[in-house]
Every structure is written in C-alpha cells, then in structure tokens.
C-alpha cells in the first residue's frame, strides 16, 4: 500500500515526518546501513577535497552528519533543513558547533555565491521538486565551487537488484517500524520513485550551471554519489 503524500501535501507531510523521527534518526540509519552511510559521506567529502577556506552548505542537513565530516576537515559549515526537529537534534549532537538554519531548499535564504561547496545526503526524493533545488544550488555556489549529492539508486545487475529490492523495499520498513516505531520507514523506500532518471539528472544539473558531472555507485549500485563543479 502506498504511503506517498499527494503533491499538495508533500511539504507539510515530509516536515512533520522528520520532526517525529528526529530523536531516533541516527540510530535507525546506522542499523539499516550497517553504518556504511557514514563511510559514503566521508568518501564524498574527500572526493570534493573539502578543506580549510571552504564554506560548506549541508543542504537538508538532518542531524548534521555531512557538516560534522566537513568541520573535521577544518571547513566552515552551515546546515539547513526544513525540519525543526532535525535541527534541534543536530544542535544537541554537536553543541556550540556549526550554524543551523531552518529553511526551504526551493528558496534558500543565502546570497548568490555564498558557498564554495554544498553537500546533501538522501534528500532529493523528499523535495517537492528537484530542478528548482538544483537551480538554487547553482545560485548560491560560487563559480568553481563543488557539490556532492548522495542518494539511493537501483543496481543495474538483475541479481543484485533483486536482493537490494528485497532488503530496501521489504526489510527496511520492518526494521524502521521495529526500531523507529513510525510509519515513516514505509515512506522512505517508496519515495525513490521521485528520483529522476540519470540522463534527466544530468540535464537538470547542466541547466543549473554545473559541469564535470560524475557519478559513482557504492554498495554495488544501490547508492549514487554525484559530484559536479559550478561553471
């Protein structure tokens, strides 16, 4: 049974959902990915060569995983999320570190060229529209700046795809329900339908002013890690 909200309800539904699951979000994520989600973030930050002098936007920051990795490389970070519950959890996790802003990814409250890097983890499918978000990233990233996007994907190999589908579509909702105690974990696998095809994603990134677009496929293709450079 589908638990995906209608287009007119998606923003409010997603915000309320993440507000609810924020206190248990990290614990469930680590369990469902066997802590591999942290490795994927760390590898993407390394690919982007984040370091001193960078000002990083962690878009849809959740509890601040990406921001923490970037601060560990001496970069300044700003985390933005639609969910106040997630921002509260981020502030509690790293008291006094980082700047946390509640806002809408479709209308970022930052000046043009404010950041040298932007990262986002497993958030594209939660936006009400992806192309305007990429346009906003193109606006706030300075020329020569970099972006890194982590998301779920479907493996190309049929055998691996079958195993992935069994785990992601059937086991993840059950694990999330047992540990997270929330129907949100039925939404998360189903929400992959919101993701664009690879060629459409490339087209949208180029239209937003990005070039040198590269995609890697960790976890045998079950994850996509996209990098691009602002022209």
Burial profile 120-155: b = 16 or more Cβ within 10 angstroms, e = fewer: bbbbbbbbbebbbbbbbbbbbbeeebbbbbbbbbeb
Identify the domain containing residue 196 by its residue range.
10-230
pLDDT at 7 over 90: no
The larger pLDDT score, comparing residue 187 to residue 153, is at: 153
Q: What is the pLDDT of residues 95-143, one digit of tens each?
A: 777 799 999 999 999 999 999 999 999 999 999 999 999 999 999 999 9
Residue 216 falls inside a structural domain: yes
Residue 120 falls inside a structural domain: yes
3-class DSSP string for 1-38: CCCCCCCCCHHHHHHHHHHHHHHHHHHHHHHHHCCHHH
Q: Are 37 and 30 in contact (CB under 8 A)?
A: yes
Give the CATH number for residue 171.
Answer: 3.40.50.150
Residue 2 falls inside a structural domain: no
Give the least confident one: 2-6, 104-108, 213-217.
Answer: 2-6
Q: Are 169 and 182 in contact (CB under 8 A)?
A: no
Residue 73 falls inside a structural domain: yes
- Nearest to 114, CA basis, from 134, 139, 135: 139
Q: What is the pLDDT of residues 36-71, one digit of tens each?
A: 999 999 999 999 999 999 999 999 999 999 999 999
Decide: pTM greater than 0.75.
yes
Residue 5 falls inside a structural domain: no
Question: What is d(CA 129, CA 10) in angstroms, rounded to the nearest whole number?
Answer: 10
Phi, psi of 133 (to 5 degrees): -65, -45
Confidence of residue 194 (pLDDT cuts 50, 70, 90): very high
pLDDT at 19 over 80: yes
Longest dimension (CA), the chain: 48
Task: To the nearest 10°, report the CA torsion of 139, 82, 124, 22.
Answer: 150
The larger pLDDT score, comparing residue 199 to residue 95, is at: 199
Residue 3 falls inside a structural domain: no
Three-state DSSP at 134 gives helix
Question: What is d(CA 187, CA 177) in angstroms, rounded to the nearest whole number?
Answer: 11
Task: Give me the number of domains the chain comprises.
Answer: 1
Q: What is the pLDDT of residue 2?
A: 63
């Amino acid at each position: 049974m589908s638990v995906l909200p209608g287009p007119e309800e998606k923003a409010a539904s997603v915000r309320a959902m993440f507000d609810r699951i924020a206190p248990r979000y990290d614990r469930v994520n680590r369990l469902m990915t066997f802590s591999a989600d942290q490795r994927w973030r760390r590898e993407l930050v390394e690919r982007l060569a984040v370091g001193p002098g960078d000002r990083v936007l962690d878009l849809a920051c959740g509890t601040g995983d990406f921001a923490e990795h970037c601060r560990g490389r001496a970069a300044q970070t700003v985390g933005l999320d639609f969910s106040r519950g997630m921002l509260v959890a981020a502030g509690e996790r790293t008291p006094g570190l980082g700047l946390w802003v509640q806002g809408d990814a479709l209308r970022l409250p930052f000046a043009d060229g404010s950041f040298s890097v932007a990262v986002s983890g497993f958030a594209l499918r939660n936006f009400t529209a992806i192309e305007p978000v990429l346009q906003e990233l193109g606006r706030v990233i300075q020329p020569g700046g970099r972006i890194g996007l982590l998301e779920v994907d479907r493996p190309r190999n049929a055998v691996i795809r079958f195993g992935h589908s069994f785990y992601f579509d059937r086991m993840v909702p059950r694990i999330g329900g047992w540990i997270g105690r929330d129907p949100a974990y039925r939404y998360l696998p189903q929400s992959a339908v919101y993701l664009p095809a690879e060629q459409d994603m490339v087209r949208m990134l180029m239209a937003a002013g990005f070039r040198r677009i590269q995609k890697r496929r960790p976890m045998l293709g079950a994850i996509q890690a996209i990098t691009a450079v602002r022209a």
